[in-house]
Chain A
Amino acid sequence: MKLKLRSIVGASIGAFVLSIAAAGGANAISSSGTAYFDNGQPITANMWIQSLTAGTCGSFSSSAVMNVSPNYITNNTKFYQIGVGGISVSGVSASQVGGDPANLTWTNSNGARGSYMSGNVCGGWGMLYLGADVSASAFYYGNYRVATAHV
């Protein structure tokens, strides 16, 4: 009975590690999502991040993009990890949301069509997987739309 339990636990952990490897690909993972304004204009959220292993750091890039000029466009990038330890981000110019170093936001205005972030991110010492959510939002012709991407 105990042996069976151990086998199940071992199999679960093994399957989990395999799934991470599959999701992570060889070097990087990326995702994008699009929402639309009433007149059909799209707003797109993009995320690209290097695959990381425990205690290592890698590059990331995220963006909120439109084809036309909104009143403002915001890129909110929030990192998360499965595992233990703190996430740290460096080399990026953005504001922390609520004092959270893994939750960053940047708004471009005055007709800018995009808001971009790139830098380095390090996972915690017990990290098994590090991912991110990007929320691209814009105010355009009196309407607010949000597009998201998740890795």
Chain B
Amino acid sequence: MSFSLKSGSFRTALCTTLVFVFCATGCAPNGEGGSKGDGPELVADALALRDANGLFRMPEGERLAEGDAFTTAIYARSDPDGKLAEGTRGAAAKKPVADSTDPSLTTAWSAAALNLPGGQAPVLPDKQLTADAEVAVLWYYADAVRILGRSQEADRSILDRLESIDLGAIRGHPYLVWRLWDTYESLGVPQPREVTEVLISASMGNLPTTPESVFDTQAILEISSLLNAPPPVPGGLAKHFGDLLTSNAVTEDVTVASVLRSLTLLGRADESRRYLEDNVLSKRIDSDNGFVRPLVSHQGTIEGSYLMSRLLDQSFPEATNEKTTETLITSIESDSVDVTTKLKAMVALRRAGDARWQDYRHISKKVTTSLPSAVTPSQMVAYLDTVDALVQLDSSPKFPRLEKFNAPDINDPVVSRQAFLALSKASYFSNTSEIASWFPEQQKNLPALVREPSEPYLLYFSGLAAMANAPLSGLNSNDFTQATENLKDLQGCGSLKKLYRISTQPGSPCSLIISVQLMAAPGAYTFGRTN
């Protein structure tokens, strides 16, 4: 009995052990435990880059813009206390405006507005072709000479140009009329009566929702302030402007500055002040030159969406929404979009799982029938950009021949990249096999080039993309494994886990272009099982 009990316990223990062992080694018979490799994290990266318009942003373009004098001056002119101009002056001495190679009127105006050392005297540009452009240059010029105290030096020519402006052409645009009025003011010349009358009669019926209506509202507020009269603007305007700022609905500096100026004119200088403190002075000063960095709007694009669709391929529907397909179709149907971009939008639409891409096959068919019979080296990049999209839509285009070129200098990164591009995309030419025998110097240098990430990185990435189509390189599967093992150091940036960075520097941005290019490098990604 006791033996039987022990025997039973032993069997139970053995069974438990076996079940444990089975599970430890055999419960995931797919080897990867059903893993989809990099797929889920690539989808997560894509979702992080999807814009409100449904398209995908390209992270390589999202570096901070360099601070500049013009953006700083725009805000300085809207600053109720002048603190921004004061604060910028010292820091900006690190890079005096006089060093600038930009001789434009706005640079001279910026230097004057910020009272920067070395600022150049404004030079009046030639007469502009349109009334609005003419008003703008005259205003910048006159404002600069007013700030510099040189109004009396302005010659008669500017007055002639002011008087030649067709008031009828700008009558419906209070902002332009106000700028015209203010230009006379800057020059110390009385305004023509009809200019003042147009401004006095201007009013706003609705709350401003476009940049133009924001400027027009400011103009009405400016003239009402000068006349000490109640502005003919709709109720709730101050709150509306405050909401525009807090919701970040305005993404362009000149418009933001106009809103700030209007708030001050509406008696809300404290709000303008707070915005400048919290959003400009504390966040957007470029420590390298002391100027305010301009706002840069990063929006999803067709190019970004196309590249993302190529990368995610059959997983792309997991990252798209209705807005994505709507925006893609709008682009395909737009007359102002070039044909290659239309092809790219069609590819993204197809990869998004929307069968409507077939409604536009006449576009891809037309491109297919118009392919050249030969491609020169200088045409190669543009041709490949188009045909790489085309083959995703048309399975049987007749590829042209690539005309031969040489690339003997392995130290010339431009020529070397061109050679690697030809090798990696040789299948898009009729002379595929012939191309594989070209560029012996470049091919023999590939083992050294792809060994580990190094400068210049764009050449390194091109080499990786070409290494599977370079028979003279001597590279084999073991080399591919080693090369892509080292490549893993470049994967991920910030919250993006699987896109590749443009360099080994930890803070360098990821790149969709490079991430797609590296699909041609065996082992760069571990994609899941799809059948």
Contacts and interface: CB of A to CB of B under 8 A. Distances in A.
Nearest to B481: A95
A84 B21 CA distance: 7
Interface stretch (B178-186, B274-282, B359-367, B468-476): B468-476
Contact of A141 (B427, B468, B522, B529): B427
Contact of A107 (B313, B388, B477, B529): B477
Contacts of A71: 424, 427, 468-469, 520
A147 B439 CA distance: 34
A interface SS class:
strand
A32 B396 CA distance: 28
Contacts of A139: 468, 519-520, 522
B150 to A, nearest CB: 61
A150 interface: yes
Interface string A30-53: 000111001110000000000000
A144 B468 contact: no
Contacts, number: 127
A111 B436 contact: yes
B478 A95 contact: yes
B22 A82 contact: yes
Nearest to B396: A39
A83 B519 contact: no
Given A71-B520, A146-B529, A107 B31 contact: no
A35 B530 contact: yes
Interface string A108-151: 11110000000000000010110101010101011111111010
A62 interface: no
B392 interface: yes
Interface in A46-74: 69, 71-72, 74
Interface residues of A, number: 48
Interface in B8-23: 8, 11-12, 15, 21-22
B31 A103 contact: yes
Interface string B13-39: 001000001100110111110000000
A94 interface: yes
B433 interface: yes
Contact of A144 (B29, B388, B519): B519
27 contacts: A39-B396, A40-B395, A71-B427, A71-B468, A72-B468, A78-B32, A80-B26, A81-B25, A82-B25, A82-B26, A103-B31, A105-B477, A107-B481, A107-B522, A109-B475, A109-B480, A109-B522, A110-B471, A129-B26, A139-B468, A139-B519, A142-B392, A144-B519, A144-B525, A144-B527, A145-B530, A146-B528
Rank and list the top 7 A-B pairs by shortest CB-CB distance, nearest first. A39-B395, A82-B26, A109-B468, A35-B531, A78-B31, A133-B31, A72-B468
